[in-house]
Structure 1
Amino acid sequence: MPHNALADGKRQEEDRTMDESAVIGQRVQRLRTERGLTQRQLADPAYTASYISTLESGKVRPSETALRFLAERLGTTYEELTTGRPARLATELRLALTDARRLLATGTLGEAAARFRELLAEAEELDLTSERVEALTGLGECALESGELTAAREHFEEADRTLAAAGEPLPRRVRALRGRAVTHLLAGELRYACYVLETAIDELNAQGLHDPDALVLLYASSIGPYMDMGAHARAAQAAELALALAPRVSDPALVAGMHRSVARTLLAEGRIAEADASLAKAQDLYQHLQTRTELAHCHWMRGYVHAQNSDLEGAERELRTAREMLAARSAALYTAQVEVELADVLRRQGRREEAVDLLSRLLEFGTDLGDGRGAVHAAGAHRLLGLIAEGDGANERAEEHYVMALALLERTGAAGDLADLCRLLGDLLRRTGRTEAALDAYRTGLGHRAAPGTTTLGPAPTPPPFRDSW
């Protein structure tokens, strides 16, 4: 049976090759006839008329060298001769994809998504792998911004599978992998987001594929989940490596994204002025690129910087700008995160009623926060509502909000936020005379504290050998 199976497989492969040869032969004959050439005229000076006759009858599979020679003689392209597809169609599709990406950066998400869907259908009809992947990635990014995490993940996974099946190297797959990781991050699955990013980094370095664009994208993307998990030292290491790679990066959008992400680690270290400077660089680059969503992220992070520096008026101004820009693009989950930050600024300004109104509307009419999407944001909203209720003396309501926030965060792996909430709940329980319950809350919080520079994933990814390899 195994011998027969092997023989059958070999025959099937031979039949497929013969079919392809026959199709190519017919194509050569048609183009030769259309151009009024004899077999000898087509063959000269490299081949013979009998070879062209054999080729046109489908009895031989021509080599790439022969096909390129014949394509030139026939006034066509190698691609058209081998696939029957005019080369201009692929070029036009690539130009259309470039326009769609610009639309994603400067237009509305709905328009961009509709255009990417049209181009995906064209790429599939023409059987163009690279263009199909570009359309899938564009659709994934549209869905990511609008908060459709399941759809985004499906698009990114299909793009990655397509590239892997085509034997594309890992650097080509990085954008799809990064997209997958971000969908898990926004769904509150922080550890898995780190796992996807760290695995890709380790594979790149293990294979000697020290691609600067790919590594900067992965390192910058890992800073967010590291910070949310409380692994500040590991986030700082990723930021340091991203900064070291930045001079080798050819894509200014990646450099801008790196500066935005690095600012988070500078903030954690109390380096406010440096964080603001890093964000200013990113903002200048994104303004040049007209990438509205990333520009909004810069306003958001600058607002956070101002808040950390107790400039609450500046923080409110930047956060409101970010909120308007993101809402205009229907970037639902990002808008929710900015609104939580804005509510905290309003609370610190003494505008408690405004903060409560904003948070309540966010939880009631928002983007299904807490149901697998935006759990960290929903937990942040409940935490703030708990603080406000506690400040008003409504201890029972405050406890309810803290408990709801804890339930949301327990699925995410956001160690730092979990530890902070357990401390808040423990303090509240202790003040109301429930000492044993307070101790339980404190112990739970201690269990969620991450050792500096670590996650539950083991050692940090191996850094690339900068000096040795480049």
Structure 2
Amino acid sequence: MGERDEPEVVGRRVQRLRVERGLTQRQLAEPTYTPAYISTLEAGRVRPSDEALKHIAERLGVDFDELATGRSARLVTDLRFRLTEAQRTLATGDAEDAALQYAALLAEAEEHGLAEEQYAALLGLGESTIETGDLEAARLHFERAEACLADAPLPARVPALRGRAVSHFLAGELRYAVYLLESTLDELNRGGLHDPDALLLLYASVIGPYMDMGAQARAAQAAEFALALAPQVADPALIARMHRSVARTLLAEGRLAEADANLAKAAELYRQLQFRTELANCHWMRGYVYAQNGQLERAEEELKQAQTMLDARRAVLYSSQVAVELADVLHRRGKSEEAAELLQRVLGDLSPERGAIHAAGAHRLLGIIAEDARDTEAAEEHYVRALSLLERAGAAGDLADLCRMLGDLLRRTGRVEAALDAYRTGLGHRTAPGTTTLGPAPAQPPL
């Protein structure tokens, strides 16, 4: 019936439990076995069969697993219950508190050799540390989670693989994040491992990196596959994530009403589930939708609500990213000084290794504000810093646009050759729209 301790360990456990219950070897053995067999078993000189252990467990009044492994069913049930509580803390409370809970549960699961519970605790630690912005720690937690289930089927490892990809994505390593997600999708689809939950999780997760890389064709295809898989999936959190991700592709296509409808569906599911970070992210994206539609006052309200919710959870990285979007809206509403102060305040929480795309966005906006104030030197400095961040991340779409802005600035200040170089750099990133230079797109799922 699966794993069990060595015979001598099992034998000592049987003897201890028998003595605790005041039973003789004969009483434990009857009616199926002999006292001599029990004596040999207690001495560790025989490996008992499953049938023998079932008989002894029944006579001792314990579970089979407790006798075979020393782990009571009650212990495992209690551990799983507390893992659920930690998950609830992460969803509705404070990410740092959740990380502490998961760390304690991980230590307990390791002590008792419970691989599945270790995996769940490591996944929770990874998600918690992503929220607090410690992306290197998050990546290590997800790698350890994968190792826990190294021999399990690929669909069981997908949440850990996806977590690792997200930690690379948020660190600005877009190409590697896409590589991880695409190669896993290929393995699932080509291997006939049709697990709708695993596939939907991966397709929803790859949309963000595709969009930031300027690979809109692939993002749209991933959204199409995700929508086709959705009827086969029952997990409301997964469906909500899908709606939120698909909204990004609809925004890029200018389908603002459809994007807003998808975000409304996601927000309603997250409200029901009380997933506060994800609900905050819906407010964040709805703020972006309103900004795109010129409804700046409503955009400011949604983004401020998102930031307040994220600040309350101490989700530092996400809060800083929202602040960049909010600063853009403030600038467009004529509150440039307030926007600049906000950007300077959050730049300390963003870096090339942590939120590179939004750090670049902050410098780009500071450059625009500096240009408006006719401080061309400061504007150029911010544009160049943004350019460096985007080149490192491989964010082709944003990079091409920034090269145009830098080129225009250089041309206006009389540096024509430097302006031409900037334009050429931008054109180089426009040459292959909709691709990632990572080879063919993943195999299509058997829908």
Q: Which residue of 1 aligns with 2:301?
A: 317
**Whole-Å Cα distance in 2 between the matches of residues 178 and 288 of structure 1?**
24
Among 128, 135, 145, the residue aligned to 1:159:
145
Amino acid at match of 2:31: D
Q: Which residue of 2 aligns with 1:180?
A: 164
Q: Which residue of 1 aligns with 2:173?
A: 189
The answer to whether the 8 A contact 1:136-1:158 is kept is: yes
**Whole-Å Cα distance in 2 between the matches of residues 70 and 245 of structure 1?**
48
**Whole-Å Cα distance in 2 between the matches of residues 432 and 440 of structure 1?**
15
SS of 1:168's partner is coil
Residue 420 of structure 1: CA displacement?
Answer: 0.8
| Match status 1:349 vs 2:314 | no
Listed as ranges, the matches of 1:206-355 within 5 Å are: 206-355=190-339
Residue 85 of structure 1: CA displacement?
Answer: 2.1
The answer to whether the 8 A contact 2:270-2:276 is kept is: yes
Q: Deviation digits for residues 385-414 of structure 1, max 9, x if unmatched?
A: 111222233222221111111111111011
Residue 185 of structure 1: CA displacement?
Answer: 0.9
Residue 355 of structure 1: CA displacement?
Answer: 1.4
SS of 1:357's partner is helix
Residue 419 of structure 1: CA displacement?
Answer: 0.8
Q: Which residue of 2 aligns with 1:130?
A: 116
SS of 1:459's partner is coil
Q: CA RMSD in A?
A: 1.9
| Match status 1:461 vs 2:442 | yes
Q: Deviation digits for residues 64-95 of structure 1, max 9, x if unmatched?
A: 34433433343221211111222211111111
The answer to whether the 8 A contact 2:25-2:39 is kept is: no
Q: Which residue of 2 aligns with 1:9?
A: none
The answer to whether the 8 A contact 1:416-1:450 is kept is: no
Q: Which residue of 2 aligns with 1:420?
A: 401
Q: Which residue of 2 aligns with 1:171?
A: 155
Residue 35 of structure 1: CA displacement?
Answer: 5.8
The answer to whether the 8 A contact 1:402-1:425 is kept is: yes
Q: Which residue of 2 aligns with 1:14?
A: none
Q: Which residue of 2 aligns with 1:44?
A: 31
Among 326, 333, 356, the residue aligned to 1:375:
356
Change over 3 Å in CA distance of 1:233–1:39 after alignment to 2: farther
Residue 266 of structure 1: CA displacement?
Answer: 0.6
Amino acid at match of 2:423: Y
**Whole-Å Cα distance in 1 between the matches of residues 442 and 158 of structure 2?**
16
The answer to whether the 8 A contact 2:65-2:73 is kept is: yes
The answer to whether the 8 A contact 1:35-1:74 is kept is: no
Among 18, 21, 40, the residue aligned to 2:7:
21
Residue 37 of structure 1: CA displacement?
Answer: 5.6
SS of 2:62's partner is coil
Q: Deviation digits for residues 186-240 of structure 1, max 9, x if unmatched?
A: 1111111111111221122233221111111111111111000000110111111
The answer to whether the 8 A contact 2:172-2:352 is kept is: no
Amino acid at match of 2:357: V
**Whole-Å Cα distance in 2 between the matches of residues 57 and 395 of structure 1?**
85
**Whole-Å Cα distance in 2 between the matches of residues 88 and 144 of structure 1?**
32
Among 426, 430, 433, the residue aligned to 1:445:
426
SS of 2:393's partner is coil
Residue 22 of structure 1: CA displacement?
Answer: 2.1
Among 52, 58, 81, the residue aligned to 1:72:
58
The answer to whether the 8 A contact 1:43-1:52 is kept is: no
- The share of aligned pairs that are identical, in percent, is 68
**Whole-Å Cα distance in 1 between the matches of residues 23 and 13 of structure 2?**
14
Q: Which residue of 1 aligns with 2:48?
A: 62
Amino acid at match of 2:194: H
**Whole-Å Cα distance in 2 between the matches of residues 52 and 212 of structure 1?**
49
Amino acid at match of 2:335: R
| Match status 1:85 vs 2:71 | yes
Q: Deviation digits for residues 108-163 of structure 1, max 9, x if unmatched?
A: 12221221122122112222111122112111111100101111111111111122
The answer to whether the 8 A contact 1:415-1:450 is kept is: no
Residue 40 of structure 1: CA displacement?
Answer: 7.2
Amino acid at match of 1:301: M
The answer to whether the 8 A contact 2:131-2:316 is kept is: yes
Structure 2's unaligned 5+ residue stretches are none
**Whole-Å Cα distance in 2 between the matches of residues 266 and 96 of structure 1?**
39
Structure 1's unaligned 5+ residue stretches are 1-16
**Whole-Å Cα distance in 1 between the matches of residues 178 and 333 of structure 2?**
35
99-108 or 126-135, which deviates more? 126-135
SS of 1:410's partner is helix
Amino acid at match of 1:152: A
**Whole-Å Cα distance in 2 between the matches of residues 29 and 361 of structure 1?**
66
SS of 1:388's partner is helix
- TM-score with structure 2 setting the length: 0.94
**Whole-Å Cα distance in 2 between the matches of residues 79 and 58 of structure 1?**
18
SS of 2:433's partner is coil
